[in-house]
Structure 1
Amino acid sequence: MQRFFPYLIGLLIVLAILSSCVFVVRERDSALVFALGEVRETITEPGLYFKLPPPFQNVVRLDKRLQTIESKDPERIQTAEKKNLLIDSFVKWRITDPRQFYVTFGANTRAAEERLSAQIRDALNASVNVRTVKEVVSSERGDIMKEMLTTVDNRARPLGVEVVDVRLRRIDFAPEISESVYRRMEAERKEEANRLRATGAADSERVRAQADRQRQELLATAYAQAQEIRGQGDAQATSIFAEAYGKNPDFYSFYKSLEGYRAAFSSKDDLLVISPDSQFFRYWESVRGVEPARAQ
């Protein structure tokens, strides 16, 4: 057993040397192969690779996955109106050039995040300082994020980093200006409401005037048509009466006298003082209801 012990030790040493010559690159990593302190090879594809044993060559791995930088505290940024806003943002980034990234930051990802955070603050200040509160909060929020993404990405490319996305997560007013901003917004909303009420009242009066005019026109047209129809009816009635009177004048005279009697004696309390030989009672002197002949 003691005779084979040196061989066993030698085998273990050989296996250790061989294992130090083999390394694995995972899908989420990229690798830099160093020889005597200099980068000899950059590996970005996953797989099994070989190298010389240390100290001749060694490997440094860098995470190439998408990473996030979130602001711990909202940034206080001043707008073009000299109003302070508290803006909370986050950034998505990843390593695209492992060699350049290592030259700039080594294997220290924290240093890269601090560098990118400073660039983000500069880009945020540059975009917000030239805009009003309303533009930052609503109308040009998307433009600000696009500007920041372009600016930060252009500055990060020489560092071996790609900035994939920049988002403004939350925008708040600073406490010292919140009350004044709310009062101004309230005044603007009241002014807009008063304008809409005034416009509505004017439209209401205009519609009401049009309706009144149309009503008057309809009433006038209807009255004119009614008068025309009434005139036509009166003319037809007169024509019928004239035709009837022409056919039998005695009967027509007798009928009109009966209507006069009915009107004169419609109530028991009616009192009529008239001469008996008046023309009013001319049909009463004849039992046949015929007007007596008048004396010549």
Structure 2
Amino acid sequence: MKNFFFGAVVVLAVLIGANSIFVVKETERAVLLQFGDIVRADIPPGIHFKVPYINTIRKFDARVLTVDATPQRYLTLEQKALLVDSYAMWRITDVLRFYTATSGDEARANALLAQRVNDGLRNKFGERDLQEVVSGQRDALMMELTEELNTYTADEYGIEVIDVRVKRIDLPDDVRSSVYERMTSERQREAQQLRSRGNELAIGIEADADRQEAVLLVEAYRDAERIRGEGDAQAAAIYSAAYTKDEEFYSFTRSLNSYRQTFSSKNDVMLLEPDSEYFRYLRSEQAR
């Protein structure tokens, strides 16, 4: 009987000791409750003690968590409907506020944050046009929304919003065709403007090239005529210098060249008087 009693005491002591010790990991945040009331918040990582069956421990994930918001339909500044799929990353910074606001329910925290993200995106999209929200100002929009959310969630929920991102932006089925047709028309109009501008530039370039060609041809003809004139002047000067040295010999050689060119073809016929001056050197006694 004593052994049984002693064994029961040992078992009871082990159970009480086991229920008196709890461990908080580095990746966790915890609060100590006494009959449902918080008596100690934000318990640091490590081994801790509690009163068995009086105190209870609630642990929460301290790592970065992700909430996927349900795709929502938003209107842009020009009243174009978009179907937006987004997500947010967050973590607990104030365990007491988090437990008070959500009762430690992570699903409830996700729902509250998702609603805040949807409201913020709806406001931001309503202040911008389609081009800005799709590509032009998306990064700036996400940064602004993250900062605005943090000013509220930190005080209300005890959480920090690390980042908000848009995974996908689609056009609703009922407006997709009309938007695509309008985008096609705008692109065609821009393409036509670019073609017209290109044709205008091409005409100007061709006209300038034609003008330069005409100027080059005129300048080349001018230079050619000048060079030809200078050559003719030099040739005339050489001929004149040669003629003045021996006029008779010069006349004789010119006549021989003329005879050679004239009588080079046997089919040519010349009608001249026998005593023509052209045959002066052929009749001359000196020439014979």
Taking structure 2 as the reference length, what is the TM-score of the superposition? Answer: 0.93
Contact 2:121–2:145 (Cα < 8 Å) also in 1: yes
Look up the match of 1:75: 72
TM-superposition CA deviations, 1:128-187 (whole Å, max 9, x none)? 112211111111111221222123222211211111110011111111221222222222
Q: Quick one: distance in 2 between partners of 1:226 and 1:60?
A: 104
Counterpart amino acid of 2:191?
A: A
In 2, distance between residues paired with 1:160 and 1:207?
68
Higher helix share: 2
SS of corresponding position for 1:179: helix
Match of 2:48 in 1: 49
Residue 86 of structure 1: aligned partner: 83
CA contact (8 A) 2:42 2:96 kept: no
- In structure 2, the residue matched to 1:14 is 13
1:235 maps to 233
Q: 2:63 aligns with which of 65, 69, 76?
A: 65
Provide the secondary structure at the position in 1 that maps to 2:135: helix
Q: What pairs with 1:200-219 in structure 2 (closer than 5 Å)? A: 200-219=198-217
Q: How many residues align?
A: 287
Q: How does 1:55-204 map to 2 (within 5 A)?
A: 55=54, 57-71=55-69, 73-157=70-154, 158-204=156-202
Structure 2 match to 1:250 = 248
Answer with 156-165 or 217-226: which moved more. Answer: 217-226
- 1:32 maps to a residue whose letter is V
Q: How far is 1:113 from its partner?
A: 1.1
Report the identity percentage. Answer: 37
The answer to whether the 8 Å contact 2:65/2:90 transfers is yes
Structure 1 unaligned residues grouped into runs of 5+: 291-296
Partner Cα distance (1:280, 1:29) in 2: 130
Secondary structure in 1 aligned to 2:281?
coil
What is the SS of the residue equivalent to 2:283?
Answer: coil
Alpha-carbon contact 2:150-2:160 (below 8 Å) kept: yes
Aligned-pair distance for 1:286?
A: 2.6
Deviations 1:177-229 (CA, angstroms, capped at 9, x unpaired): 21222222222222222222222222222222222222222222222222222
| C-alpha distance in structure 1 between counterparts of 2:216 and 2:89, whole Å | 72
Amino acid at match of 2:5: P
Distance between the aligned counterparts of 1:192 and 1:46, measured in 2?
63
Residue of structure 2 equivalent to 1:294: none
Structure 2: state its 5+ residue gaps: none
Which letter does structure 1 place at the counterpart of 2:233?
A
Could you tell me how far 1:265 is from its partner in structure 2?
A: 2.8
| CA distance, structure 2, for counterparts of residue 44 and residue 190 of structure 1 | 64
What's the secondary structure of 1:284's corresponding residue?
Answer: helix
User: Letter of the aligned partner of 1:259 in structure 2?
Assistant: N
RMSD: 1.8
TM-score, scaled relative to structure 1: 0.90
Task: State whether residues 254 and 289 of structure 1, in contact with CA within 8 Å, keep that contact through their aligned partners in structure 2.
Answer: no
Q: Whole-Å Cα distance in 2 between the matches of residues 130 and 280 of structure 1?
A: 106
* 8 Å CA contact retained: 2:29, 2:95: yes
CA distance in 2, matches of 1:3, 1:246: 164
* Alpha-carbon distance in 2 for matches of 1:262, 1:51: 139
